[in-house]
Copies of this chain bind each other. A is one copy, B any other.
Amino acid sequence: MAKPPVLTPQSEDFPRWYQDVIAKAELADNGPVRGTMVIRPYGYGLWERMQAEVDRRIKAAGADNAYFPLFIPMEYFQREAEHVEGFSPELAVVTVGGGKELEEPVAIRPTSETVINSYFSKWIQSYRDLPLCVNNWSNVVRWELRPRLFLRTTEFLWQEGHTCHATYEDARDYARRILFDVYADVMVNVLAVPVLLGPKTASERFAGAINTLACEAMMRDGKALQMGTSHELGQNFAKAFDVTFLDAAGDQVHAWQTSWGVSTRMVGGMIMTHGDDRGLRVPPVLAPIQAVVLAVRDEPEVLERTAALAAELADQGIRVELDHRVDLSFGRRATDWEIKGVPVRVEVGPRDLAEGNATLVERWDGAKSPVHLDGVATAVLAALDSGQANLVREATEFRDAHTVEVATVDEAIEAGATGFARVPWSAVGTDGEARLGEHAITVRCLQRPDGGFPESADEPDLVAVVGRSY
């Protein structure tokens, strides 16, 4: 059945497709103040499930949630030189409160290293207080001149973790643990987004960090999206905010720290990794609605059977929705669920029932198949499993097909126009990064030649993965 084209095809205009799918799937709207975002219930449902999966793993990694204030005194930013340089241009500043001009204007947090460290310095006395690992789910503000929903908004939702450790090694290991056990695990096993892991180059580091570790994914237009970062902060903030502890030998020393975050940007990454010209394709493990049972027509047996099927699927632990909106056309409803990317549709009409069947439609590849009414739950569970695996496989194949091995910066510039290039870091260096930058290409991360995670960014023979990015 031919459908009217509701979305701009990806091949025609990818950014336009992205805007279209966000609007048609009712994920988000632009806020009234430039750069802000309204996250609609279906979009928030995606975020809420990402949050829960990240939160569970953060707690398993030993960090406790806490809350630090939205408002930060301006002078806090001055204390760490690189940090102030990095964030000052993006600050939103409150100058009026309670009807009066404030004596000291306050910044709205763009990130909370400064204020959190001012409390760490009060809370930590001895090595017995370490490690101290806290996480804050919150909204932050960075003034954006070129906003894009989910990817780059003036206000966004995120978590920021902050930890203090007794030694450099403990901090280094913890930053990696978060990258691997929390972020990469959620990206791959929940979002079905394959990620490249590795340290950033010095020029791409977080303002104030000694090492930034990144999760990088490829979108369906060949561009990179940084999905999350975990920073080793060394003792930079500890020195700026006097975070010291009495070690076992009785010496007063500065703590070693990490910070790490993922944001609503993950929603954008999921959309652009899996979406196709028919809409979203939400990975089953993530999906707020994993299966929808549609009554094709307003007939008593159809309504009864669909209600029973939905109840049966719910009993199996499937997140299911029953669509009895029979006053709307079936075609319109089917298209709507397709645009929303619900992994499995179970369609039941009089013709299906006459044959003792339901029609099962998998969003992943659009395949339709008749399934006996007794076997629907089993078939849906199988489709959810295979749908998740197929999305990961497809995204991995896409990325690999759009990644080339090159030897020089010139070749990397050419390949980086349409995908990723892997180029020896020794052939790039700081000068090469500048040349790549002229073509809007950056080093996304450094890896060992076999794709392995390097001990440090200074290891010899590393490969730079380069590409355009969001």
Residues of A within 8 A of B (CB): 29, 31-33, 36-41, 43-45, 47-48, 64-73, 76, 88-99, 105-106, 108, 115, 118-119, 122, 128, 134, 138-139, 141, 143-145, 154-155, 157, 327
Count chain B CB atoms within 10 A of each CB in A45, A67, A97 and give the residue with the most.
A67
* Cβ–Cβ contact A155 & B71, under 8 A: yes
Give 30 A-B contacts (CB < 8 Å), ordered by A residue. Answer: A31-B68, A31-B115, A32-B69, A33-B73, A36-B69, A37-B67, A38-B67, A38-B69, A39-B66, A40-B66, A41-B64, A41-B134, A44-B65, A44-B66, A45-B65, A48-B65, A70-B108, A70-B139, A70-B141, A71-B154, A71-B155, A88-B99, A90-B98, A92-B96, A93-B96, A93-B97, A97-B154, A98-B143, A128-B327, A139-B139
Count chain B CB atoms within 10 A of each CB in A69, A88, A99, A141 and give the residue with the most.
A69
Q: Which B residues are CB-close (under 8 A) to A43?
A: 66
Q: Which B residues are CB-close (under 8 A) to A92?
A: 94, 96-98
* Cβ–Cβ contact A68 & B38, under 8 A: yes
Closest to A128 in B: B327
A69→B39 CA distance, assembly (Å): 9
* Cβ–Cβ contact A71 & B36, under 8 A: yes
Please tell me which one of the listed residues B29, B45, B68, B119 contacts residue A64 in the complex, with CB atoms under 8 A apart.
Answer: B45
User: Chain B's nearest CB lies how many Å from the CB of A62?
Assistant: 11
Q: Which B residues are CB-close (under 8 A) to A67?
A: 37-39, 44, 47, 157
User: Chain B's nearest CB lies how many Å from the CB of A60?
Assistant: 14
* Cβ–Cβ contact B89 & A96, under 8 A: no
Q: Which B residues are CB-close (under 8 A) to A33?
A: 69, 71-73, 106
* Cβ–Cβ contact B138 & A69, under 8 A: no
Q: Which B residues are CB-close (under 8 A) to A118?
A: 32
Q: Which B residues are CB-close (under 8 A) to A105?
A: 96
Q: Which B residues are CB-close (under 8 A) to A45?
A: 64-65
A232→B45 CA distance, assembly (Å): 27
User: Chain B's nearest CB lies how many Å from the CB of A76?
Assistant: 7
* Cβ–Cβ contact B66 & A41, under 8 A: yes
Closest to A89 in B: B99
With A29-B122, A32-B115, A93-B97 given, name 15 new contacts (CB 8 A): A32-B73, A33-B72, A37-B69, A38-B67, A40-B66, A41-B64, A44-B66, A48-B65, A70-B108, A88-B99, A91-B96, A93-B96, A94-B94, A97-B143, A138-B139
